[in-house]
Amino acid sequence: MLKIAGRSACQAAVRLLGACACGVLAGVALSLAATVPATAAELDIREVAPGTWALIGQTEDLSPQNAGNIANAGFIATPEGVVVIDTSASKALGEAWRAAIAARSPAPIVHVFNTHLHPDHMLGNQAFPAEVLATLPATRQAMHDVGEAFNDNLYRMVGAAMKGTHVVVPATVAQAGVLELGGNRIRVIALQGHSAADLAVFDETTGVLFTGDLVFWQRAPTTPHADLVRWRESLAALAALLFRHMVPGHGPLLEDRRGIDMTRRWLDWLEATFVRAAEAGLDMNDVLALPLPDEWAGLPLAVSEYRRSVAHLYPAIERRVLGGTP
Amino acid sequence: MKPHLIALKHGLPVTLACVFAASAAAQTPVDPLGDRGRWADMQRQFYQGGEITFDPRVRVEVPPTAEDAMNVPVAVDARALAGEAIERIVVVADYNPILKVLEFEPTGVAPYLAFRIKVQQSTPVRAGVKLRDGRWLVGSAIVNSQGGGCTAPSTGRGVAGWERTLNTVSARQFSSAAGDRLRFSVLHPMDTGLANGIPAFFIDELNIRDAEGRTVARIWPAEPVSENPVFTLELAGVQRVTQIDGRDNNGNKLLGSLR
């Protein structure tokens, strides 16, 4: 969906500005003092399994109040080294996250994986040693092409808490496969669908699965770079793993498949709604005005993510119904 | 018509009285969106020749925030003006680098048109309905955006072989209790000319015709209309649209017929 190469790169950047935009916040961001979780003590960090921890972000949209702390991250500490999954949304959050890791394990950080390209998961990269950063090839390319456009957008939405943040593209290509480290068998899994490349990490030893944004739980999924067919395939692949604990990309920790089910139900509902709307001849503004079913009434950000998804997904579905080639 | 009366009282010639009347009518009405800076310019440039009124019966629907600055959905709905003789509708965006979005002549269809536009920054979008008696009835709405939509090249041009599908028309008529609706898309890059090294290239004329070959609506799109534009019309009183034809500013013709 996202065209990265050549002359369309600029185009892609521009689209992405829109992709995260909640434009009206720009002025507000600069005038409010952000309540930054400036220290590790202020982050919500939970022990998932022995030696394995998760940072739980707030199930909100980016704002000056939450300083960008809206995504989950995690780490696996072994005697031979620490594996970190995602770095949060800013230099300050990355530094607080790294301090929290150091407070829990004296071992050196040997791998930092970015699950995908979105800024709330990777703009804390600066706080970690550059030589251990790694991600999938398509994510590296996308971060290179549009990462700074994301960063600009976060400055607009989050404001002062972004101070000093810039994009650090991982130098290393992450390899799918098993990583043996300090007695843990850690599987790096290459999937896609939420974005062009989604990396999941499954620690077979502890049974902890880090899904990245392939799974949302108690927070509406985001779709700016979604490929629904591939996303559903990836959810099926995750559901087949014998995990005991799950750290979703957004939302609280889980010990079952409810997050996978909820994400799939949301995607199925979105697609069915858009196909039905296109078959009925609805224009985009009509689709934006449709009420959400009761099923999603209590889900944080359901209305705003639904509306964003209209912009992301409706044009292609509409074109299919009208009978045009892309 | 106060100036007219005053003029008579003072015994001025009738012609001069008329000039007075005209200048009074051309006074800038207060912009309901507040002081947005450019309303006076828009009026001068696009809504000339008759009295201007902001009229709530002319509705402009936009999302409050544009998720994608390249594809901002706009619906202009003047169906509440039933009984007024509409000549054409002119849509503009005050803060776009290219101000005019399109013109629409709903000869035989309802005065309703939905489409998508590119915006360069947050901007009012206005629809001026020109009546046959010369008056303008104007509706406005504001869309918030991080912008950038007008100076980016189209995505389609990054895809090899876009020339082969250029001007392909896909159309479908939808029936509902509320009346028939026509939706159609045309594959076209709709380049604004503002992206570096890419000249303006856009569809500038569309005719919508019924089974008897009568033109029931005309659209004159301008550069800000989105790439691969999609239009929605309400077919009040029209049996069946059978043909959509037109051309772009390079003279390439387009022609689509409905099954």
- Of A115 and B18, the structure prediction assigns the larger pLDDT to A115
For A173-184, letters b (16+ CB in 10 Å) and e give ebeeeebebbeb
The full DSSP string for B28-94 is: PPPPTT---S-HHHHHHHHS-SS-EEE-TTSEEE--SB-S-TT-EEEEEE-GGGTTS-EEEEEEEET
Sheet of A208-216, strands arranged across = A177-181, A184-191, A198-203, A208-216, A245-250
Q: Which of A223-237, A287-301, A311-325, B77-91 has the lowest mean pLDDT?
A: A311-325
Q: Would you give the DSSP letter of residue A125? A: G
- Residue A83 forms beta bridges with which residues? A76, A111
Please indicate if any CB of chain A lies within 8 Å of the CB of B66.
Answer: yes
- Of A16 and B43, the structure prediction assigns the larger pLDDT to B43
- Cβ B70 vs Cβ B147: under 8 Å: no
Query: Using CB atoms and an 8 Å cut-off, which of residues 137-166 of chain A contact chain B?
Result: 153, 156
- Of B76 and A10, the structure prediction assigns the larger pLDDT to B76
Average pLDDT for A24-31:
35
Whether the predicted pLDDT of B18 surpasses 90: no
Q: Would you give the DSSP letter of residue A79? A: T
Average pLDDT for B231-256:
91
Whether the predicted pLDDT of A34 surpasses 50: no
Interchain CB distance below 8 Å, A24 and B65: yes
Q: Please give the pLDDT value at position A196.
A: 97
CA distance A163 to chain B (A): 20
Cβ contacts of B153 on chain A, cutoff 8 Å: 7-8, 10-11
What's the CA gap between A6 and A8, in Å, rounded?
5
Q: Which tokens go with A246? A: 């799950």
- How far, in Å, are B6, B22, B136 from residue B18 at the CA level? 11, 6, 19
Cβ contacts of A153 on chain B, cutoff 8 Å: 146
Whether the predicted pLDDT of B46 surpasses 90: yes
CA distance A232 to chain B (A): 24
Interchain CB distance below 8 Å, A17 and B69: yes
All residues at 6 or more sequence positions from B17 whose CB lies less than 8 Å from its CB, including other chains: B3, B4, B7, B8
In this complex, the residue of A14, A307, A321 whose CB is nearest that of residue B148 is: A14
In this complex, the residue of B65, B74, B183 whose CB is nearest that of residue A322 is: B183
Whether the predicted pLDDT of B22 surpasses 90: no
CA distance A157 to chain B (A): 11
Average pLDDT for B10-19:
40
Interface ipTM: 0.83
Dihedral of the alpha carbons of A103, A105, A111, A114, in degrees to the nearest 10: -40
- Cβ A202 vs Cβ A189: under 8 Å: yes
Whether the predicted pLDDT of A63 surpasses 60: yes
- How far, in Å, are A30, A65, A136, A238 from residue A179 at the CA level? 44, 38, 15, 18
Q: Please give the pLDDT value at position A324.
A: 55
Interchain CB distance below 8 Å, A325 and B159: no
Q: How confident is the model at residue B103 (pLDDT cuts 50, 70, 90)?
A: very high
pLDDT averaged over chain B? 85
Q: Please give the pLDDT value at position B154.
A: 65
CA distance A211 to chain B (A): 26
Interchain CB distance below 8 Å, A21 and B145: yes
Q: How confident is the model at residue B150 (pLDDT cuts 50, 70, 90)?
A: low
- Of B119 and A4, the structure prediction assigns the larger pLDDT to B119
For A118-131, letters b (16+ CB in 10 Å) and e give bbbbbbbbbbbeee
- Cβ B102 vs Cβ B225: under 8 Å: yes
Q: How confident is the model at residue B179 (pLDDT cuts 50, 70, 90)?
A: confident
What's the CA gap between A33 and A38, in Å, rounded?
13
**pTM (2 d.p.):** 0.85
In this complex, the residue of A14, A308, A312 whose CB is nearest that of residue B69 is: A14
> What own/partner pairs with CB < 8 Å and gap ≥ 24 does A29-32 have?
A29/A64, A29/A155, A29/A156, A29/A157, A29/A158, A29/A159, A29/A160, A30/A159, A30/A160, A32/A64, A32/A65, A32/A159
Q: Which residue segments constitute the domains of chain A, with CATH numbers given? A: 8-256 (3.60.15.10)
Mutant choice from B59, B60, B61, B65 vs A, greatest count of A C-beta within 10 A:
B65
Q: Please give the pLDDT value at position A153.
A: 87
Please indicate if any CB of chain A lies within 8 Å of the CB of B232.
Answer: yes
Q: Please give the pLDDT value at position B147.
A: 59
Query: Using CB atoms and an 8 Å cut-off, which of residues 96-115 of chain B contact chain A?
Result: 114
Q: Please give the pLDDT value at position B145.
A: 85
Please indicate if any CB of chain A lies within 8 Å of the CB of B149.
Answer: yes
Q: Would you give the DSSP letter of residue A227? A: -
Residue in B closest to A223 by C-alpha:
B67
Q: Which of A225-234, B208-217, B235-244 has the lowest mean pLDDT?
A: B235-244
Interchain CB distance below 8 Å, B183 and A14: no
Q: Please give the pLDDT value at position A17.
A: 36
Average pLDDT for B230-241:
86
Interchain CB distance below 8 Å, A283 and B68: no
Interchain CB distance below 8 Å, A8 and B114: no
Residue in B closest to A319 by C-alpha:
B185
What's the CA gap between A252 and A134, in Å, rounded?
25
- Of B82 and A243, the structure prediction assigns the larger pLDDT to A243
- Of A286 and B10, the structure prediction assigns the larger pLDDT to A286
Residue in A closest to B183 by C-alpha:
A281
CB pairs under 8 A between A and B: 125
Q: How confident is the model at residue B223 (pLDDT cuts 50, 70, 90)?
A: very high
Q: Which residue segments constitute the domains of chain B, with CATH numbers given? A: 1-28 (no CATH), 31-257 (2.60.40.2470)
* Dihedral over Cα of A248, A253, A255, A258: its sign: negative
Please indicate if any CB of chain B lies within 8 Å of the CB of A280.
Answer: yes
Whether the predicted pLDDT of A237 surpasses 50: yes
Q: What is the pLDDT of residues A168-221, one digit of tens each?
A: 999 999 999 999 999 999 999 999 999 999 999 999 999 999 999 999 999 999
Q: What is the pLDDT of residues B54-81, one digit of tens each?
A: 999 999 999 988 888 999 999 999 999 9
Whether the predicted pLDDT of B229 surpasses 90: yes
Cβ contacts of A151 on chain B, cutoff 8 Å: none
In this complex, the residue of B69, B183, B187 whose CB is nearest that of residue A18 is: B69
In this complex, the residue of B64, B148, B185 whose CB is nearest that of residue A17 is: B148
Q: Which single residue is written with the structure tokens 């699965």?
A: A209
Query: Using CB atoms and an 8 Å cut-off, which of residues 26-55 of chain A contact chain B?
Result: 26
Average pLDDT for A245-249:
98
Q: Please give the pLDDT value at position A131.
A: 96
Q: How confident is the model at residue B148 (pLDDT cuts 50, 70, 90)?
A: low
Q: Which of A36-50, A287-301, B7-21 has the lowest mean pLDDT?
A: B7-21
Q: Please give the pLDDT value at position A24.
A: 31
E-strand stretches of chain A = 45-49, 52-55, 73-78, 81-85, 109-113, 133-135, 172-173, 177-181, 184-191, 198-203, 208-216, 245-250
- Cβ B251 vs Cβ B233: under 8 Å: no
Whether the predicted pLDDT of A27 surpasses 80: no
pLDDT averaged over chain A? 89
What's the CA gap between A301 and B243, in Å, rounded?
43
Q: Please give the pLDDT value at position B23.
A: 45
Q: How confident is the model at residue B153 (pLDDT cuts 50, 70, 90)?
A: low
* Dihedral over Cα of B229, B232, B233, B239: its sign: positive
Cβ contacts of B185 on chain A, cutoff 8 Å: 318-319, 322, 324
Cβ contacts of B145 on chain A, cutoff 8 Å: 18, 21, 23
pLDDT above 90: percentage of residues in chain A: 83
What's the CA gap between A222 and A216, in Å, rounded?
9
Q: Which tokens go with B82? A: 């039933």
> Please, where are the H alpha helices in A116-245?
119-122, 137-158, 228-239
Q: Which tokens go with A214? A: 């392939």
Interchain CB distance below 8 Å, A281 and B165: no
